[in-house]
Amino acid sequence: MSAHCPWSAHEGCCRAHPSTRDQPPQPPIHRIEIPEQKLEPSNAASNGGQPPPPYIDPRSSYAITPIHLAVEHHLSLQHLDCVRRRLEEKPTPQLVPELSAKGSISRSDGTRIEWNSYVYFERGRFLQRQQTLYLRKDGMAKRKENFISCPHHSIEIDGPTFGFQDDRLTAKTLIVNNPPRCEVHFGGTEWNSLHGDYLQMNVCQICHCDAECIIALEIDNLFVWYTCYKDLGTGDASNPDAKWIALLTGRGTPCRDTESFELYARVWGAAKSLDQRGLEDVTHRNSRGVFNVYSHWMQSQNTQNQETTDRGT
Ligand SMILES: [Zn+2]
Ligand SMILES: [Zn+2]
Ligand SMILES: [Zn+2]
Ligand SMILES: [Zn+2]
Ligand SMILES: [Zn+2]
């Protein structure tokens, strides 16, 4: 099989490599396997040499892992369950301020991370948008940053190297997806600001989680926007749904179309209808073509308005 990745350096790469597209679907990517029963330490060897993650009861107060260490906000099922009883059904998405937070850290090496975490309630489900904005200037200590979308996927971004080309400041870095997204980019994707902004979307097959990464050099600042769009489920602690269990423990069955932007569009749209900030209007690309979230949202608004008008007449 000839190894060829169709994506240029500023587009990241897809899960569905064209050389494998015509073949049967690939087996699901399971980085963490947790059996139904409590794992004993002696089972460690059966997990590909990796020590097994501790068994977690999804009804317990464990929180899902924030997308970055800087995010000091931990959400458990009990938090959702608690507000669920108080929320009233509304036709439009609501922000849940009790479960939303934001903050920032400035490090001694000069890097800065701003973060926010929003929970929305829409049609009986909790949605979450968690975002970090990472910023660094030239001349700062090199340090890798790790961003975690769910138990099945994370991304590591090398400390960037700055340089000059044609009198312009350039930045380059290496983006490593774990697990790798295709066989060509097993060791990561090299990005150089001369290619344009970096853009990738990772859709987990198991968790209802879409993770977006945008890297851009603006004047002399390197920016990384990392945003996760999640469906947290119903928030019913007496009957935890599969969505929550998957996000918390990694356990679950592949149920999602990884070439669909539906969840991303739904959470983005909820935030947009609440007039929130930090929404990047970008055009993503996958094997099905291009997808612009803003035009998608505008279209859905027009459809809704049309339906309202139709009902009114
Ligand atoms: Zn590929
Ligand atoms: Zn690739
Ligand atoms: Zn690819
Ligand atoms: Zn996942
Ligand atoms: Zn599902």
ipTM: 0.57
Give pLDDT, residue 51.
52
Q: State in Å: Cα 250 to ligand 1 middle.
A: 25
Q: State in Å: Cα 146 to ligand 1 middle.
A: 22
Tokens standing for residue 28: 């699901």
Q: State in Å: Cα 238 to ligand 1 middle.
A: 42
| 244 part of a folded domain | yes
- Number of separate domains in the chain: 1
Q: State in Å: Cα 234 to ligand 2 middle.
A: 35
| 312 part of a folded domain | no
- Taking only the tens of pLDDT, the chain with its 313 residues reads 345 555 544 444 544 333 222 233 333 333 333 334 333 343 434 445 555 544 445 555 588 989 999 998 889 998 899 899 889 889 899 999 999 999 999 988 888 999 999 999 999 999 999 999 999 887 777 789 999 999 999 999 998 999 998 888 999 999 999 998 887 778 899 999 998 999 999 999 999 999 999 999 998 899 999 999 999 999 999 999 999 999 999 999 999 999 999 999 999 999 999 999 889 889 998 888 899 999 999 998 888 877 777 766 5
Q: State in Å: Cα 286 to ligand 3 middle.
A: 9
Is residue 309 helix, strand or coil?
A: helix
Give pLDDT, residue 140.
73
Residues in the chain: 313
Closest ligand to Cα 286: 3
Strands 168-178 and 75-76, by their bridges, are: unpaired
Q: State in Å: Cα 102 to ligand 5 middle.
A: 28
Q: State in Å: Cα 222 to ligand 5 middle.
A: 35
| 274 part of a folded domain | no
Q: State in Å: Cα 12 to ligand 2 middle.
A: 7
Residue-range definition of the domain harbouring residue 163: 18-258
What DSSP state is assigned to residue 104? E
Give the separation between CA 29 and CA 152, rounded to whole angstroms. 7
Is residue 260 helix, strand or coil?
A: coil
Q: State in Å: Cα 226 to ligand 4 middle.
A: 16
Q: State in Å: Cα 266 to ligand 3 middle.
A: 25
| 248 part of a folded domain | yes
| 140 part of a folded domain | yes
Give pLDDT, residue 21.
25
Q: Which residue has the tokens 């049967």?
A: 24
| 98 part of a folded domain | yes
87 in the Ramachandran plot: left (φ > 0), alpha (ψ -120 to 50) or beta? beta
| 247 part of a folded domain | yes
The distance from CA 26 to its chain's CA centroid, rounded to whole angstroms, is 21
Closest ligand to Cα 154: 4
The CA-based angle 188-1-183, given to 5 degrees, is 15
| 283 part of a folded domain | no
Give pLDDT, residue 208.
97
